[in-house]
Structure formats: C-alpha cells, structure tokens
Amino acid sequence: MDGNGRWANARGLPRSMGHRRGVEAVREAVRAAGELGIQYLTLFAFSSENWRRPEAEVEELMSLLKHFIRRDLAELHKEGVRVRVIGERENLTPDIRALLEEAENLTRDNQQQTLVVAFNYGGRDEMARAMRRVAEKYAAGEVELDGLTPEYLDRHLDTAGIPDPDLIIRTSGELRLSNFLLWQAAYSEFVFLPCLWPDFDRKAFEEAIADYFSRDRRYGGLSREIAS
C-alpha cells in the first residue's frame, strides 16, 4: 500500500493526512474483498524497514494502527473476518503487541474471510527466523536432513496455513516487491498500478482482478492452449 506520503505532498498536506486517508482506503479494500468473495487478503501495513522513518511519522502510524483496531475490530468480527498478523513481534511495545493479540484472539474462529496484516514484517527476516526454528529442530534431532524440504520450511514461516498469494497488487507506480512475501510470491501474478494508495478504490481493485483473470498461469508447465 504505497504512496500515502506522496499523496499528501501533492496536496500540500502533512504526511500524516496521507496515512489517515490511506486507512480509509484500507477499509474500502477490506469491504470490497469481502463482497467479491476473496477469502484471503494480505495488507503490507508496516515493514521492518519503516522504523527508519522519522520518529513522529512512526508514532503517527502506531496511533493509526491502534485507532483502526479499536474502531474496526468489532465490525470485522461481526462480519466473520479472521485476523492474522505476520511479522516480528519481539521488539514491539507491549501495548502494540497486546492489540495485535487481541485482534487475533477475538477473531480466531471466524471463517468468512481471513485478513492478514503484515506488521513489522520483512520477507528476508521471516525466512531467517523460519530457518533458525528449523535449525533448532534439526540440532535437537526432530527432523532428518532429508526432511528439510521446501514444504517443511513453509510450515515454519509466519504464513503457515495461509495459501500463497495468487495476485500481488502494488500502488504508486513502483515496480518492486520491497521485501514482501519473497518466498510465497514464487508463482504470484503481479499488477503494478500508477495510482497512489489513498486513491485505490473498488474500481481499481476490480480492474486488477480482471487483469489477473485474463492471464494464463502455467507454473512452469505449458499454456492451456498448447496443452489442449
């Protein structure tokens, strides 16, 4: 979800206003995903690199997270949305950790839709943490060398039990992953949109999905036309 700051700068507004407008775009995206029957929606809310931003901006983002959970959690729960949070939590403040755990615990049994929030998340960090857990199990004799398969590593990632993304959408015209779901994106389709995140709406969402359905996903095999 890229472009909040640029959206605000283009309008002569403080960056915080871009982030606040971005939260409204989050609400619209979650609502649209539910109405469109999308079972899993992952939002890259805060990366492990975002701590490098100015302290005031980080505090604003933390405040928005708290506000979003306090305002929207009950509605998500009512709509049957399960919240999963991926990312490193050890260095988060106790109040933020408590909020994330509250969101997960309250919605744990919901089955209508899963909203995955990538918070303090980085793809390389996720893989390193997973490999440490696997190495500990190997050292303890809980798994043999032959058992160290991609499937085994997958079960130790933050996204264990969550399907790999079919489609990854990035806004603001940037053409890179920026350390997002590096392992899981092996066969994902990508749509890069020129619009800034605060301008992302249902129409843009539907157009990205239509683009996805126009593609022929081969997973290393033959196209449907050639195979038939």
Active-site positions? 2, 50
125-159 burial, b at 16+ Cβ within 10 Å, e below that, comes to bbbebbeeebeeeeeeeeeeeeeeeeeeeeebbbb
Which of 171, 62, 168, 155 has its CA nearest to residue 116?
Answer: 168
User: Do the strands 113-121 and 40-47 form a parallel or antiparallel pair, or are they unpaired?
Assistant: parallel
Both structure tokens of 33: 């995903």
Both structure tokens of 176: 């890179």
Tell me which H or E stretch contains 116.
Answer: strand 113-121
